[in-house]
Amino acid sequence: MVENMSTTDTQRPHLPPHIRNVRLVGMTFLNHPDWGKLLYDINANDRDLQLVRDHSNEHDRYAVSVYLADEPFLRIGYLNRGVARGVAPAMDDGEMWLIVGTNLQIVEGHEDTPGLLLNLERGHFSEEVPLTRVVEMGFDQKKTKAPQVSNREWARRALELAGKENINPRRIGLEQYVVPSLTTPGSYYSVAVDVDEHRQVNLFCDCIGATYHPGFPIPCSHAASVVIKMEKKGEARIIQGLAYQIPPVS
């Protein structure tokens, strides 16, 4: 198990391409009714996780948060400090790091509160990076590098993911929807709809994932779920990964 990867302020360690069994910490602060069950679900169903460089953390300047990729507002913990002191500077220098697998750490007598071990891998920005494997560099846009994926390809992947999740958005206004969170009951994301002069549908979501792709017409799976509903209602048509408004019949 990798627990310590010491470094100084002026020199960061050389990182191997793979780092195995990295202990996730900070889970006891997770705002979830049953975080132990959630960790079992993450491991059993191979749910995708993403690393986010947490530049706003006042207590640890090397903080690297771990989020559920399909629920970007749900932080499940942090990389342990020893590994983060090596990975964080690497991410700041533009490296991409992926979580490619997990393992449970179960102590006899404490089966309800397992630990989670992460397998990390250095990635590359390319069009082959799946939607839920994209690792962003943090909330500071100056430090963020978006993957080299076209807006059509990104939209196609978002639509595919939304279709699997079977999300049911609810319209609350002429151009506004709320999309339920899959992992936090009672929580919702807000999605706004805009139609340009070419009748192309552009959506804006308040989730963290969507902020990484400003200007993309379908920036996340929540927005994609709205497009799917619009198509089912005969209000839009999806053509090659983009959505176009169908004019109402007068």
CATH code of the domain containing 126: 3.30.70.2330
Statement to judge: residues 59 and 170 lie in one domain: no
Q: Is residue 120 part of a domain?
A: yes
What does the pLDDT read at residue 72?
53
pLDDT digits (tens, 9 = 90+) for 139-186: 333 333 344 457 777 888 888 888 887 788 988 877 889 888 766 667
pTM value is: 0.49
pLDDT of 138 reads 32
- Do 133 and 183 fall into the same domain? no
**Partners of residue 157 on adjacent β-strands:** none
Cβ neighbour number for residue 90 with a 10 Å cutoff: 18
The residue ranges of the chain whose pLDDT is under 50 are 1-10, 125-148
23 and 135 share one domain = yes
Residue 5 lies in a domain: no
End residue of a domain, out of 121, 143, 165:
143
Same-domain pairing of 174 and 208 = yes
Other CB atoms within 10 Å distance of the CB of residue 137: 23
Distance of alpha carbon 153 from alpha carbon 143, whole angstroms = 23
Query: Based on the domain organization, do 97 and 189 belong to the same domain?
Result: no
Residues of the domain holding 178? 151-245
Q: What's the confidence (pLDDT) of residue 226?
A: 93
Does residue 117 sit in the same domain as residue 29?
yes
112 token code pair:
């309800």
Same domain flag for 88 and 125: yes
- How many domains are contained in the chain? 2
Among 143, 171, 206, the domain-final residue is 143
Domain termination residue (choose one: 94, 109, 143)? 143
pLDDT at 147: 43
pLDDT of residue 128: 39
94 and 45 housed in the same domain = yes
166 and 239 assigned to the same domain: yes
Burial 196-224 (b: 16+ CB within 10 A, else e): eeeeebbbbbebbbbbbbeebbbbbbbbb
